[in-house]
Chains A and B, each alone.
Chain A
């Protein structure tokens, strides 16, 4: 319990520091949002008026506190371009990205755990070598390329899945799932390839452990011994990598959302960057950073669930 509390404290501190960094980056970026909004022919008076309306004529610390205070109450500010409140849109987009990243993670785990375990258990045989080779190849493929190939096969040639677009799950669950398959696969398979290699090496380590020999000595067959006594102990390094991969997945989602025309955080970010809507960029980046930190926190909590040796508070 102490471990988790301490970890939560570290999480909050990191979040605070991250918010300052994100804010500082946006503040030093060249380009005046008011100038972008009004165009090159705007009068100085109008520019000043707009800057005042955006709140960017105030000192930076005040701007920062105003922004961060807003985040705590769910107020993400207003878009420089459209003038709409950012909060509701951000929430909608975040939900879409969560679906995509979640599904991709499921794909990665469901593919990598059995394949990596197989590659380790059969590492001296042909099937183990084939899995290792494929995972190496798969890890080298960028997600957007995988996406284009998958669209070519399943949407263009076979016509069994849509090539893009998004249906909310509550509107039409079947269409939602069909639309989710290809983007989740293109994002998840590449991660699966990377994860397979980590699962393989974690399982290989466990296979050499004395307690696995004890399990065999009790009369368990090799496969049962590995499943009952090996996999849980192999999970610690795999969970670590999975946590790191989620950060990569969030970034990969930015590109894959573009390929599949999905209205998630990624496409919101790209649109905002294109429109110089700096406040939106700032909000989206902050949400992504917070998401990554939350994942890291969850990974730390998961450790203590998996490995009883980490439960002692020190």
Chain B
């Protein structure tokens, strides 16, 4: 459904995302995980064709049924795809709705823009139905409210309703639950999975939370330093990681194991600033297993959909 090939994103001369390739099959749910600054959100924005002004993308992003490459496509084409075939839910629900427009009108607008509703009255009815689908109660009253009268969880549901309004083929979610309470988070994740399943839509789900990936996704891509360092089925990657970075992430998420000093595991050091990543393997300055060989960029080992880019994979040459 979605095929990303050799995607590079750069701010001027500064590379932010390098040579990212992956596919998302029809109806497949793929997670994209990594720490802040690993380039996950930029990758998603580049796929969606909505990068910040001074950031440019190169490479290829293909969507089934669209003859042109989405990278470098006209605003005209992208506007037609956005909100109809490609939809996106962003991280911050508190500020993502227009404060001076009634909630129901903001949902109805999504139906009107792409002429999927016959007229205003039909769009309004559709909007109420969509709000019901994301399990909001008293939609007639709630729809007439303004965003400031809704909670964060309610707002994110409204944004999900907007994203699903035209039954997209691909839904991209960029940390949609990060700003929400844990209790609200689980309900929203359910709604997202239900929403894409009902529409047989593909999902690209960005998060830094491994537990969320395990709940929502079938396959996972691990990103670090603007590159995909490992990919595979969620069950395999999360139980027997190959890349040292993935291993570090999993150890850091394990709240039951501690090191010899009785502290939780952590990955040494911090994510470098963009452009400060080492040459060769991007993880080598934080990796306990790094040696001279890692000065050379590791190739991709394994299948395109399941493999890693590490010279010394876990359970490998040791």
Q: Which residues of A contact B (CB under 8 A)?
A: 124, 209-211, 213-222, 228-229, 232-233, 306-309
Q: Which of A214, A219, A221, A232 contacts B84 (CB 8 A)?
A: A219
Please determine whether A215 and B88 come into contact, CB atoms closer than 8 angstroms.
no
Q: Which of A214, A219, A220, A233 contacts B100 (CB 8 A)?
A: A233
Please determine whether B110 and A222 come into contact, CB atoms closer than 8 angstroms.
no
Q: In angstroms, how far is the closest chain B Cβ from the Cβ of A240?
A: 16
Instruction: Fill in one digit per residue for B147-177: 1 if any A CB lies within 8 Å of its CB, else 0.
Output: 0100000000001001100000000000000
Please determine whether A308 and B113 come into contact, CB atoms closer than 8 angstroms.
no
Please determine whether A210 and B96 come into contact, CB atoms closer than 8 angstroms.
yes
Please determine whether B80 and A219 come into contact, CB atoms closer than 8 angstroms.
yes
Q: In angstroms, how far is the closest chain A Cβ from the Cβ of B103?
A: 11
In chain B, what residue has the closest Cβ to A307? B100
Residues of A close to B79: CB separation below 8 A: 216, 219-221
Contacts A219-B80, A308-B146 known; list 17 others, CB within 8 Å: A124-B53, A209-B95, A210-B92, A211-B96, A211-B98, A213-B50, A213-B90, A214-B96, A216-B82, A217-B163, A218-B83, A219-B79, A220-B113, A221-B76, A306-B100, A308-B99, A308-B148
Please determine whether B84 and A309 come into contact, CB atoms closer than 8 angstroms.
no
Instruction: Fill in one digit per residue for B78-121: 1 if any A CB lies within 8 Å of its CB, else 0.
Output: 01111110011010100111111100000001100110000000
Residues of B close to A228: CB separation below 8 A: 109
Please report the C-alpha to C-alpha distance between residue A269 and residue B82 in the assembled complex, in whole angstroms: 61
Please determine whether A210 and B99 come into contact, CB atoms closer than 8 angstroms.
no
Q: Which of A213, A218, A233 contacts B110 (CB 8 A)?
A: A218
Please report the C-alpha to C-alpha distance between residue A217 and residue B82 in the assembled complex, in whole angstroms: 6
Q: In angstroms, how far is the closest chain B Cβ from the Cβ of A65?
A: 46
Residues of A close to B163: CB separation below 8 A: 217
Please determine whether A217 and B83 come into contact, CB atoms closer than 8 angstroms.
yes
The 10 closest A-B pairs by CB, nearest first: A219-B83, A218-B83, A210-B95, A308-B146, A211-B98, A210-B96, A219-B82, A229-B98, A214-B96, A218-B110
Please determine whether A308 and B100 come into contact, CB atoms closer than 8 angstroms.
yes
> What are 23 residue pairs bridging A and B, where the CB atoms are less than 8 Å apart in the complex?
A124-B53, A209-B95, A210-B92, A210-B95, A211-B95, A211-B96, A211-B98, A213-B96, A217-B83, A217-B87, A217-B90, A219-B79, A219-B81, A219-B83, A221-B75, A221-B79, A232-B101, A233-B99, A308-B99, A308-B148, A309-B99, A309-B146, A309-B148
Number of interface residues of B (CB under 8 A): 31
B245 at the interface (CB under 8 A from A): no
Residues of B close to A307: CB separation below 8 A: 99-100
Interface residues of B in 44-71 (CB under 8 A from A): 48, 50, 53
Residues of A close to B83: CB separation below 8 A: 217-220
In chain A, what residue has the closest Cβ to B93? A210
Please determine whether B98 and A233 come into contact, CB atoms closer than 8 angstroms.
yes
Residue among B87, B113, B146 with most chain A CB within 10 A: B113
Q: Which residues of B contact A (CB under 8 A)?
A: 48, 50, 53, 75-76, 79-84, 87-88, 90, 92, 95-101, 109-110, 113-114, 146, 148, 159, 162-163
Please determine whether A232 and B53 come into contact, CB atoms closer than 8 angstroms.
no
Please report the C-alpha to C-alpha distance between residue A209 and residue B101 in the assembled complex, in whole angstroms: 15
Q: Which of B90, B97, B113 contacts A219 (CB 8 A)?
A: B113
Please determine whether A217 and B97 come into contact, CB atoms closer than 8 angstroms.
no
In chain A, what residue has the closest Cβ to B82? A219
In chain A, what residue has the closest Cβ to B106? A214
Q: Which of A214, A216, A222 contacts B162 (CB 8 A)?
A: A214
Residues of B close to A213: CB separation below 8 A: 50, 90, 96
Residues of B close to A219: CB separation below 8 A: 79-84, 110, 113-114
Residues of A close to B53: CB separation below 8 A: 124
Please report the C-alpha to C-alpha distance between residue A215 and residue B96 in the assembled complex, in whole angstroms: 9
Please determine whether A216 and B50 come into contact, CB atoms closer than 8 angstroms.
yes
In chain B, what residue has the closest Cβ to A305? B100
A216-B50, A220-B113, A309-B146 are known contacts. Are A211 and B99 too (CB-CB below 8 A)? yes
Residues of A close to B81: CB separation below 8 A: 219
Residue among A124, A306, A307, A308 with most chain B CB within 10 A: A308
